[in-house]
Structure 1
């Protein structure tokens, strides 16, 4: 949970819109987060093409927390996680690698301005590409 420097509500809504427009994605309730979170769920026929460690629960590659938090949990490829952590865009999820969760779950901080929004939206699209077997950035 993000405790301070919370993203404005419109940034949260815009991130939800970005995720909803990704191929094969529907919005729903997270299988691992609070009910007020919004999960990004990938259709099974597309999810089968993704990496095995790209999901928190079947089809759920990311979710955005409630309006009072607006951070995201998402699964990312290891090489991207290293860059995210080095740039202080997020941190390793405490359950990563435990309780049946893959080790590559991160908490990504909610964006507070347009530059941060672009970065977080890009990370969401990378998480989607990883989950759908799409091309990842170099």
Structure 2
């Protein structure tokens, strides 16, 4: 199956300051807490997913795992175990997603995120407003599709 990003608009403004590789996250242009919570509300409602401690991020990150027995993607599509996404704590607001390499490149070119310097994951910058929330949500859904299909 070929995955590619939708009509990804170019992210406006300068890039946020990023640190990493461990921890890898955003240090400026932090998403408002209520926008982060709206994103998390949507993320945790994805079918056959559950919240569990992250296996790859800082201890206060909220991670999504795909339930065993659901989906047919190979293990290498996940960050570790069945974890495919995590949202960093409020002071950061960015998230890491499992996505195909072609999508990683499109997202970087459109200035919405950066590949993790060590792991096979995409850092997506936290949405600064409701319009950006819709773009980030589309990327989360693409990640979900990536880990649920062969």
Q: How would you bin the TM-score normalised by the shorter chain?
A: 0.7 to 0.9
2:36 is paired with a residue whose SS is: helix
5+ residue gaps, structure 1, are: 97-102
Alignment match, 1:11: 35
1:24 aligns with 2:24: no
CA contact (8 A) 2:26 2:92 kept: yes
1:46 is paired with a residue whose SS is: coil
**The one of 48, 58, 63 aligned to 2:81:** 58
CA contact (8 A) 1:53 1:75 kept: no
Counterparts of 1:38-77 in structure 2, within 5 Å, are 38-47=62-71, 49-77=72-100
2:28 is paired with a residue whose SS is: coil
RMSD, matched Cα? 1.3
CA contact (8 A) 2:75 2:81 kept: no
**The one of 138, 141, 145 aligned to 1:122:** 138
Alignment match, 2:26: 2
Instruction: Write 1 or 2 for the structure with the bigger share of helix.
Output: 1
2:97 is paired with a residue whose SS is: strand
Q: CA deviation at 1:14?
A: 1.1
Measured at CA, do residues 69 and 10 of structure 1 come closer, stay the same or move farther in structure 2, by a change above 3 Å?
same
1:86 aligns with 2:109: yes
5+ residue gaps, structure 2, are: 1-24
CA contact (8 A) 2:75 2:82 kept: no
CA contact (8 A) 1:51 1:130 kept: no
How many corresponding residue pairs?
Answer: 126
Alignment match, 1:111: 127
Alignment match, 2:61: 37
Q: CA deviation at 1:52?
A: 3.5
